[in-house]
Amino acid sequence: MTIDNETLYFTVEPLLRQLPEEEIKRIKEAAPRAIIGRDGYLSLSIADLSRMIDGHDITGIIPNAAEPLKLTVFEWYTAEGLRSFLEGYIQKLEALQPPLEPAERAAQKACLTVTTTEGLLCFAREYFGLHSFSEAEGVTLAEILIAKKDSYNKVIYQKAFIKQQQKRRK
């Protein structure tokens, strides 16, 4: 049996249940790259993420999502994996928040709460020197992840360096 971008999920679903786990795993891993792009889920933009989180709409990524009987095997497994990807991605972003000093934590309490999407848009606009949130919507999740890592490292380095300088002055 050959499965490609045209194979409808519901026509082969009984056969898929008989495939070895290794084969199903291989198909699940290939699906996001076949549907979304080379980097799989990380190829999604902030705008895509916003539609998924705020409106639970994945039709921009998987056009047949509104009509399940028309889903291909790759579309089915891409849709199936989106939730766990999003949860893991958001956890990675949260882990890249530098620890706050007590004074920073106190000051943060006075700030307005922003959604995940709003935070990503603000971060992307500032980090990449963009002029508008519309431009920031086009930044991919892969670019955000790399930028967050870079930003995290810079903040951690700066805090450690300042502490070292303060110790030397004493």
The three-class DSSP label of residue 45 is strand
Its pTM stands at 0.83
Q: How confident is the model at residue 132 (pLDDT cuts 50, 70, 90)?
A: very high
In the prediction, which pLDDT does 134 show?
95
Give the pLDDT of residue 3: 82
Output the six-digit token pair for 50.
């916003």
Q: What local confidence, expressed as pLDDT, does residue 123 receive?
A: 96
Residue with tokens 């049996």: 1
Please provide residue 59's backbone torsions phi and psi, each rounded to the nearest 5 degrees: -65, -20
Beta bridge partners of 72: 8
- The encoded tokens of residue 3 equal 């499965």
Residue 47 CA from chain centroid, whole number: 11
Per-residue pLDDT of 2-21, as tens digits, reads: 787 888 998 888 888 888 99
How does residue 38 score in pLDDT terms, banded at 50, 70 and 90? confident
The label of the residue with tokens 């539609």 reads 51
pLDDT at 151 over 80: yes
Q: Is the separation of the CB atoms in 123 and 46 below 8 Å?
A: no
Q: Is the pLDDT score of 37 beyond 80?
A: yes
pLDDT at residue 48 greater than cutoff 80: yes
Q: What end-to-end distance do the CA atoms of the chain give, in Å? A: 73
Per-residue DSSP letter, 8 = B
Mean pLDDT for all residues in the chain: 90
